[in-house]
Chain A
Amino acid sequence: QVRLVQSGAEVKRPGASVKVSCKASGYTFTNHALHWVRQAPGQRLEWMGWINAGTGNTKYSQNLEGRVTITRDTYASTAYMELSSLRSEDTAVYFCAIAVAGLYSWFDPWGQGTLVTVSS
């Protein structure tokens, strides 16, 4: 079945960078966009950006523009989200999710989430 498996939890210092991976299986990787969404403690879900897994094109939330980079490795069927210049407010669970129908779509399924903690 279609599945997304993310890398494990990370603890980072303020100012550092983190790179989270999202390995896809059960479908043709290049046929769907992958989105990244984060959820800070007690906060609503926040959309971060997407990558067209076929072309490599990306689009990012303006709130994170300049700090977030989404890439993919088609041979490994894996997408990556790198967030730089980390601050305490970036502490959150980070999810990847498949856009089912086109670039802007509902998400199904989601990865299990990766907790990123930013602390000095």
Chain B
Amino acid sequence: EIVLTQSPGTLSLSPGERATLSCRASQSLLSNFLAWYQQKPGQAPRLLIYGASSRATGIPDRFSGSGSGTDFTLTISRLEPEDFALYYCQQYGSSLLTFGGGTKVEIK
């Protein structure tokens, strides 16, 4: 099983600031098969990024993904009020799909 470790657990920032979220895999991901999701309370996860760096349809360009191998990053260049939420990474490079434990981005 590929274990995904997200850090930090909580990120306290103000609107307009830059957020940098990390996702580390326990082994190298095949072809950078990593996605990022945003989840708000009482809602389903929403796809932000797939293939480590490709933005999903309709996702603002303030969201960007980067990384390869075992280390991946989601960056929100300037936080908008609607961006304060939980963020999860997911790997789909193995037949046992796994998710990270999440990073909560909260208002400072």
List A residues at the B interface (Cβ < 8 Å).
35, 37, 44-47, 59, 61-62, 95, 97, 100, 104-113
Closest 8 CB pairs of A and B: A110-B44, A106-B35, A106-B50, A108-B47, A45-B99, A47-B97, A104-B92, A44-B101
Contact status of A45 and B44, CB under 8 A, knowing A104-B33, A106-B35: no
Chain B nearest CB from A77 CB (Å) reads 19
Q: List A contacts of B51 (CB < 8 A).
A: 106
Binding site of B, secondary structure by majority: helix, strand, loop or mixed? loop
List B residues at the A interface (Cβ < 8 Å).
33, 35, 37, 43-47, 50-51, 56, 88, 90, 92-102
Contact of B56 among A37, A47, A108 (CB under 8 A): A108
Q: Do B50 and A104 have beta carbons less than 8 Å apart?
A: no
Q: Do A45 and B35 have beta carbons less than 8 Å apart?
A: no
Q: List A contacts of B47 (CB < 8 A).
A: 106-109
* Cβ contacts A to B, 14 pairs, < 8 Å: A35-B97, A37-B99, A44-B88, A44-B100, A45-B88, A45-B90, A45-B99, A47-B96, A59-B95, A104-B92, A106-B90, A107-B35, A107-B37, A108-B47
Cα A37 to Cα B47 with chains together (Å): 14
Cα A47 to Cα B99 with chains together (Å): 8
Cα A61 to Cα B95 with chains together (Å): 9
Q: List A contacts of B94 (CB < 8 A).
A: 104
Cα A97 to Cα B90 with chains together (Å): 13
B36: nearest chain-A partner, CB-CB: A106
Cα A62 to Cα B92 with chains together (Å): 16
Contact of B44 among A61, A100, A106, A112 (CB under 8 A): A112
Q: List A contacts of B90 (CB < 8 A).
A: 45, 106-107
Contact status of A113 and B95, CB under 8 A, knowing A44-B102, A45-B88, A106-B35: no
Q: Do A111 and B44 have beta carbons less than 8 Å apart?
A: yes
